[in-house]
């Protein structure tokens, strides 16, 4: 969200105080980005779990037709049931909307989500890398300015 | 002397007030961006919808079946609203940034006045 500021400033022209301010800002940005990074990873692994459940080869046993399952009515109360239709699932697509899909397109949906998040993670990784580099340069600048 | 100091005090108070406002505006912009993203994803998903796939809307604890057209218009309406809100917040942020810059200038001026008036200049919060 921080706009890419392409302005370059020669670090030698900054005082130690200014440098430490820059460092502080970079630290904050980095912290924010890293937490986004973990969140993205968590989201991706959630989608991956969903994908695993609907994929053919290691389909969740609960998704087998005529298989006996327990349906939770409350946290502590269950009733026994059997699945009459194991070829369709209802997928949460966000903002309170759900779509009833067949297993195949549900898997495609989750694959897509995992892929999208993977791309975002990659982008973010590059940004984090760049920021870390910037931080290192600024830290070197601080050390240098303290020596001189 | 005391007059300038009092002025400086009130200026820096206004300055921090603007900064707080800016922060809330930035936060709400972030929230709006996230909502826009989510709704855009839903819209895209509706476009990909195949025949025989039903849309349900979560109303309280139950899922209600809904027409594709109806659901689409809901999402489009939301996106439009969010877009407008986003624009408004964007303007607000720009406005606040300008105000902050102006206040900064005024504070610096007042500080200079204080320094010219002699005595050690007490450092009044003027950090960006």
Asked if residue B100 has pLDDT above 60, the reply is yes
For the stretch B111-128, pLDDT in tens is: 888 888 755 444 444 444
pLDDT value of residue A87: 86
Q: List the CATH number of the domain containing A18.
A: 1.10.287.370
d(CA A47, CA B102): 48
Question: In this structure, is the dihedral angle defined by the CA atoms of residues A107, A110, A111 and A112, taken in order, positive or negative?
Answer: positive
Question: What ipTM describes this predicted complex?
Answer: 0.73
d(CA A5, CA A3): 6
- Please check whether residue A9 lies inside any domain of the structure: no
Mean pLDDT score across all residues of chain A: 88
Asked if residue A5 has pLDDT above 80, the reply is no
For the stretch A15-24, pLDDT in tens is: 888 888 999 9
- Please check whether residue B46 lies inside any domain of the structure: yes
Q: Residue holding tokens 């986004």?
A: A36
Question: Considering only CB atoms, which residues of chain B are within 8 Å of chain A?
Answer: 30, 33, 35, 38-39, 41-42, 45, 49-50, 53-59, 63, 71, 75, 78
- Please check whether residue A2 lies inside any domain of the structure: no
For the stretch B1-15, pLDDT in tens is: 788 889 899 999 999
| Band of pLDDT at residue A145, cut at 50, 70 and 90 | confident
- Contacts with B75 from chain A: Cβ below 8 Å: 95, 97
Lowest mean pLDDT among A119-123, B60-64, B114-118: B114-118
pLDDT value of residue A69: 86
Q: Note whether A53 and A59 are within 8 A (CB).
A: yes
Q: How many CB atoms lie under 10 A from the CB of residue A27?
A: 13
Could you give the 3-state DSSP secondary structure of residue A31? Answer: helix
Q: List the CATH number of the domain containing B76.
A: 1.10.287.370
Q: Nearest residue of A to residue B26 by CA position?
A: A1
Report how many domains make up chain A. 1
Residue ranges making up the domain that contains B25 = 2-116
pLDDT value of residue A2: 43
CA distance A129 to chain B (A): 23
pLDDT value of residue A57: 66
Report how many domains make up chain B. 1
- Please check whether residue A139 lies inside any domain of the structure: yes
- Please check whether residue A76 lies inside any domain of the structure: yes
d(CA A146, CA A143): 5
Which of B29, B39, B56 should one mutate to test binding to chain A, selecting the residue with the greatest count of A CBs within 10 A?
A: B56
Q: Residue holding tokens 């600024």?
A: A138
Angle between helices A16-54 and A103-147 (to 10 degrees): 160
CA-based max dimension of chain A: 79
pLDDT value of residue A56: 72
d(CA A22, CA B39): 36
Asked if residue A135 has pLDDT above 60, the reply is yes
For the stretch A43-98, pLDDT in tens is: 999 999 999 988 876 677 767 777 888 999 999 999 998 888 888 899 999 999 99
- Please check whether residue B58 lies inside any domain of the structure: yes
Q: How many CB atoms lie under 10 A from the CB of residue A132?
A: 14
Residue ranges making up the domain that contains A35 = 14-147
Instruction: Please compute the mean of the pLDDT values over residues B93-120 and round it to a whole number.
Output: 87
- Please check whether residue A3 lies inside any domain of the structure: no
- Please check whether residue B74 lies inside any domain of the structure: yes
| Band of pLDDT at residue A1, cut at 50, 70 and 90 | very low
Residues of chain A above pLDDT 70, percent: 93
Considering only CB atoms, A93 lies closest to which of B33, B42, B78, namely B42
b/e map of B98-123 (b: 16 or more CB within 10 Å)? ebbeebbebbeebbeebeeeeeeeee
pLDDT value of residue B107: 92
- Please check whether residue B20 lies inside any domain of the structure: yes
d(CA A9, CA B107): 25
Question: Pairing mode, if any, of strands A78-82 and A88-94?
Answer: unpaired
pLDDT value of residue A7: 61
């Amino acid at each position: 969200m921080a706009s890419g500021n392409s302005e370059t400033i020669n670090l030698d022209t900054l005082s130690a105080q200014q440098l430490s301010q820059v460092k502080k800002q970079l630290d904050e940005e980095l912290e924010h980005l890293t937490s986004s990074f973990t969140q993205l990873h968590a989201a991706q692994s959630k989608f991956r779990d969903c994908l695993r459940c609907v994929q053919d080869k290691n389909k969740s046993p609960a998704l087998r037709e005529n298989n006996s399952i327990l349906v939770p009515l409350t946290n502590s109360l269950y009733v026994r049931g059997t699945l009459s239709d194991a070829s369709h699932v209802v997928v949460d697509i966000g903002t309170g909307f759900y779509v009833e899909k067949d297993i195949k397109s549900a898997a495609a949906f989750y694959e897509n989500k995992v892929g999208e998040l993977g791309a975002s993670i990659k982008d973010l990784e590059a940004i984090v890398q760049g920021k870390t580099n910037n931080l290192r340069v600024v830290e070197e600048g601080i050390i240098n300015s303290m020596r001189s | 002397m005391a007059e300038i100091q009092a002025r400086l005090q009130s200026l820096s108070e206004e300055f921090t007030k603007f900064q707080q406002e800016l922060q809330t505006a930035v936060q709400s912009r972030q929230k709006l961006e996230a909502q826009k993203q989510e709704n855009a994803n839903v819209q895209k998903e509706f476009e990909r919808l195949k025949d025989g796939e039903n849309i349900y809307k979560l109303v309280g604890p139950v899922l209600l079946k809904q027409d594709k057209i109806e659901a689409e218009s809901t999402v489009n309406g939301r996106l439009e609203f969010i877009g407008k809100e986003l624009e408004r917040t964007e303007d607000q942020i720009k406005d606040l940034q300008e105000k902050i810059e102006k206040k900064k200038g005024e504070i610096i001026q007042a500080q200079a006045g204080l320094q010219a008036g002699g005595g050690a200049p007490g450092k009044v919060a003027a950090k960006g």
